[in-house]
Structure 1
Amino acid sequence: MSLAAAGAASAAAAAPRLTLIMVDRPGCSYCRAWKQDILPGYASHPVGRTLPLRIVPIDGPWPDGIALDRAPLISPTFLLLDGGIEVARIEGYPGRDHFWTGVALLLDRSGSGARAG
């Protein structure tokens, strides 16, 4: 195996299988509340340490190679992707406690074995 092929294989193995996309809309008060309540501590939360987050505007541009069940219409929408394919979603943001509970349910439904901590 060449060094380039070995490097590519290593990068693929290290790439997270599950990702979370937060769909944002300019002027969305619920998006702003989520960014104030959750975003600052997301990376230090047990979920954030294992579930990479990407924020995408509702009108795009969208990351290449993803497949969604349907286009998001509500903001915020949180999309759980497994290998770029949507496996679950949360629509809206009813508050901090509901968010973490909702993410835990998404992870349980995904069958990934990941836990919300």
Structure 2
Amino acid sequence: MTRLLAALALVLTALPLAAEPLRLLMVEKKDCIYCAAWDRAIGPGYAASDAGQAAPLTRVDIHGPYPDGLALARRPFVTPTFILLDGGFEVGRLEGHMTAAQFYPALNALLDQAR
């Protein structure tokens, strides 16, 4: 297990996402009903929202491949997981399904923490 974590940390060290100050990484899985619910309820308006303007969305499958150079606190295991990245480094995360009324305040708290 330690070798796996060390390998994961090594794989996530070169940083194309570092050019972006803040990004929201959505970790999803094919046929995830909660990811589909997010796509229906929140996804269409996310890019135009204040949060979406502050932290544009990047999607990745839970099984990868992940963008190079991420520095994550731990490997995601729940979908959807939303990881706020500042220059490729994890600031915080939201795990599991949330309604829009839950999602935006929680994400705004992470954005405030990052500023």
**What range describes the TM-score normalised by the shorter chain of this pair?**
0.7 to 0.9
Cα deviation for residue 93 of structure 1 reads: 1.5
Q: Who is 1:109 aligned against? A: 113
Could you tell me whether the CA contact under 8 Å between 1:25 and 1:31 is conserved in 2? yes
- Which residue pairs with 1:24 in the alignment? 28
Give structure 2 stretches of 5+ with no counterpart.
1-18
Quote the residue 1:63 is aligned against. 67
The aligned amino acid for 1:29 is I
Q: CA deviation at 1:73?
A: 0.5
- The gaps in structure 1 that reach 5 residues or longer are 1-14, 113-117
**2-structure distance, mates of 1:94, 1:107:** 17
Deviations 1:9-62 (A, max 9, x none): xxxxxx431110000011111100001111111111111122111010000010
User: Considering only aligned residues, what root-mean-square deviation do their CA atoms show, in Å?
Assistant: 1.0
Highest Rg: 1 or 2?
Answer: 1
Higher relative contact order (CA 8 A, sep 6+): 2
Residue-pair matches, total = 97
> How far 1:94 sits from its partner (Å)?
2.2
1:1-117 mapped onto 2 (5 Å cutoff):
15-110=19-114, 112=115
